Amino acid sequence: MDARLYMFIILGTSKSNESKNYYIQERIKIWGMLYIAGITKSYWESLDDYQINGTNDYAAQNGFQFLDLVRKIASNDKEINFEVYSKEISRTVNEIESDSKISSILFNGKTACTLYRSALYASATNNEFYFDKKYRKELNYGKIDLLGNKKYYCLPNTSSRGKSFDEFEWLKVLRILSKK
């Protein structure tokens, strides 16, 4: 068993399609950065390679996993009513927090980070789940402090719709994690 298994997770809001593959549309953004940072050992040169290898099985072999807060397939976050999915989000957050194999969480965008924070806060205070749009707007990229017991990094959304993508934020964090 690989000692780095589940060293970190890349946490998104939801998958945009039903494929078992992750981030095939954004393959250069995610998979290219993972390779440049030394997390993965190979860089694929064709779409077929991405479709064969871009899975959680391959990710686990390289010490990380992809996970989404909501199982609903949605091409963008605006299609999801987060309050409707609050129990599912809270359950996922509790599972992540209780998993000792996960040391760090890389949020793929501010929405995933805000949802995670909302679920942690609701659980810790026995309050209702609330998606805090003000927190999301004021959130900065980089390492953040949350109530949980992991290291948390809010990173720019890699979606092709994302307007604030900055590979340097991702590479900075991935290089830190590749040295562990």
Q: Where are the domains of the chain?
A: 8-178
Angle at CA 37, nearest 5°, toward 142 and 179? 80
pLDDT at 5 over 80: no
Pick the CATH number of 8-178 from 3.30.70.20, 3.60.15.10, 3.30.413.10, 3.40.470.10: 3.40.470.10
**Better-predicted residue by pLDDT, 2 or 38:** 38
Strands 64-70 and 104-108: unpaired
In this predicted structure, what is the pLDDT of residue 9?
93
Q: Which long-range contacts (CB under 8 A, 24 or more apart) does 24-29 make?
A: 24/50, 24/51, 24/54, 25/160, 26/158, 26/159, 26/160, 27/54, 29/158, 29/165, 29/167, 29/170
In this predicted structure, what is the pLDDT of residue 46?
77
The size of the chain, in residues, is: 180
Question: Average of pLDDT values for 40-63?
Answer: 83
Which of 90-99, 106-115, 118-127 is predicted least confidently? Answer: 118-127
pLDDT at 72 over 70: no
Neighbour count for residue 144 (Cβ, 10 Å): 15
In this predicted structure, what is the pLDDT of residue 166?
78
* C-alpha dihedral (3, 174, 124, 67), degrees to nearest 10: -70
